[in-house]
Chain A
Amino acid sequence: MALSLALERGCLAFHLWRTDVPKTTDFDRLAEHLSAHFLPVNGQKQHLPLRVFRDAQGNQLLIVLTTGRVQFRISTDIPKTAREARARALFDLFVQAYQLI
């Protein structure tokens, strides 16, 4: 399955980006492969079907386990002009992890 990245235009510029994976994805294995680049956010959202990760720059990655929706939240510390490039770099890392499942 080819994944694609789309801007979710919100009120913060170039902040939210989206891709979707099948609901049947093995999210535990995906999380294992993502761990090279992202840290799971501990103590939060554990009661929801939601996985949340952060990288060292404060960018967030959210995965809704029931729908397969994936959202990248680019840190607002990154200049607006550099957020798309950062989103695409994170997306590439995500695709690499996804392809390893």
Chain B
Amino acid sequence: MSDMPLRRWIPEQDLLFLANQPVIYHCHHFNLFLDQSIDDALGHDVAWAVKSRASREMATHLIRGFCQIQGAETPAERLQAAQMLFGAMGHGTLSVLWDDQQGEAKGEYLHYGYAWKEKYGARIKRRTPVDAFAAGFAAAAVTVAFDMPDFSVVADEEDCVALRAKHCQFQLETHSPEAARPDVDFETSANVLGPSITGLYEQEISEHAQALKDFTSQVSGDERGLVEAFGVFVTMTPAGYYNRISFDALMHLRDEAPEFVPILSALLQESGHVCVFNTFGGILSSPEWEALAGAPPSSSEEVIWQSLAIARALGFGRWTLKEFVPNQRLVLSTPATYEIPYFLNRHADITSLTFDFFQGAAISLMKLAHLVDFQQSPQFTDEFYQSMFKNEHSWRCEETHSPLRGDDRLEVVVTVE
């Protein structure tokens, strides 16, 4: 039995770890948007491979660490632990069976499929399955449970609720193992990060972030394995999953169709818009936040600093307010986002990489601060989202500092376009 704690923070960096693996909270809007962006960029088959392999890699480390903590030693105990972990993280109910060289998994209430059906099912006919994260997780559960070589099982989704099936069904089989990539865990993350920083409204941000961290520490999947909170479906997901699929998709495009790299980069930036609008907007207008912070924010400054507290509590890193001039300028600085340890450990040589999600989130914070009246019960609908981002009052973002270019922090400046 390991003495490794289940959930712990690098508190001065606001990075969250579960069983030693970096994890973060995101809502279904972000998850579905990023998932669709990868599909659009690569096509379904390549995207499925990218996503399911990323999930398999991150889940392998996570499940192994979790089994050690739980004292799960037999294959049956390990499979059960993996399935429990999957549901506790808000990803749904997964039942995995394995027999020598092949197996199957049944998924119910899977986060991606269920949320896709809820959001788009009545309007759009989908033609490809959506649960690559669950597929990779099931494959990882098998190799960890049966002490097989890492990354040596693949899973395909044959039935999916997003395709109007009653439940999701996966087939699993052995495959030549994928080469391991450098670990990005608690220790390797801590090793690459510099000193923490503070900024404006630091005390308020820290106090509210801690209160929300305390709150999320008690949130777990319901009997379906879903987390319904703040008016959205929430997951805890390995940060490396998002980082790897974004990076691998960019590299694939760079090699195969470089003219499309800026488009994917723009979509990754928009994923930051989607996240801030839906997750941050949903939290700021929720009863939970009202109980935690009092009346809804009444000024653009309050929206900004409360949003930074939310970012920290979700494990996004020590997002810090360096400068804010209403209607004019926002400077966000951070020694750590959930992307930075990943890129510094794996791709520090690629200095041209930019932090698109952080840039998009910073722009969206300005829109949230200036275009949403939280005193008037704002309606966080698709229509409102579209109107916000087509509004003529638009912003541009410049990444002025980056750890990938030798700086001690990531910093972006948002100004009026």
Residue positions of A touching B, CB distance < 8 A: 8-13, 15-16, 18, 43-45, 47-50, 58, 60, 62-67, 69, 71, 73, 75-77, 80
Chain A residues within an 8 Å CB radius of B69: none
Q: Using an 8 Å CB-CB cutoff, how does the interface string of B275-288 with A read, 1 for contact, 0 for none? A: 00010001000111
Q: Indicate if the CB atoms of A9 and B381 lie closer than 8 Å.
A: yes
Alpha-carbon gap, A77 to B29, bound state (A) = 18
Given A50-B287, A64-B290, A69-B287, A11:B214 Cβ within 8 A: no
Chain A interface secondary structure, helix, strand, loop or mixed? loop
Q: Is B380 an interface residue (CB 8 A)?
A: yes
Known: A10-B231, A58-B222. A50 touches B288 (CB 8 A): yes
The one of B233, B287, B294 in contact with A62, judged by C-beta atoms closer than 8 angstroms, is: B287
B231–A73 touching, CB < 8 Å: yes
Residues of chain A with a CB closer than 8 A to B219's CB: 44
Closest 8 CB pairs of A and B: A50-B291, A9-B379, A10-B231, A48-B291, A62-B287, A44-B218, A71-B287, A64-B291
In the bound complex, CA of A38 to CA of B413 (Å): 48
CA distance in complex: A13, B120 (Å): 11
A31 smallest CB distance to B (angstroms): 15
Give the interface size bracket for B toward A: 20 to 34
Cβ-defined partner of B291 (8 Å) among A8, A60, A66, A75: A66
15 extra interface residue pairs, beta carbon distance < 8 Å, beyond A11-B232, A45-B291, A62-B288: A10-B282, A10-B381, A11-B380, A12-B118, A47-B211, A47-B214, A50-B288, A50-B291, A58-B222, A63-B287, A65-B291, A66-B291, A66-B294, A67-B290, A73-B231
Cβ of B200 within 8 Å of any chain A Cβ, yes or no, is no
CA distance A45 to B218 in the complex (A): 8
Smallest Cβ-Cβ distance to A6: which chain B residue: B377
Contacts of B231 in A (CB 8 A): 8, 10-12, 15-16, 73
Task: State A67–B288 Cα separation when bound (angstroms).
Answer: 12
Residue numbers in A under 8 Å from B286 (CB-CB): 71
**Chain B residues near A80 (CB-CB < 8 A):** 122
**B371 interface residue, CB < 8 Å from A?**
no
Q: Which residues of the partner chain B approach A45 to less than 8 Å between Cβ atoms?
A: 215, 218, 288, 291
**B339 contacts partner chain A, Cβ-Cβ < 8 Å:** no
> In the assembly, what is the distance between CA of A65 and CA of B292, in Å?
11
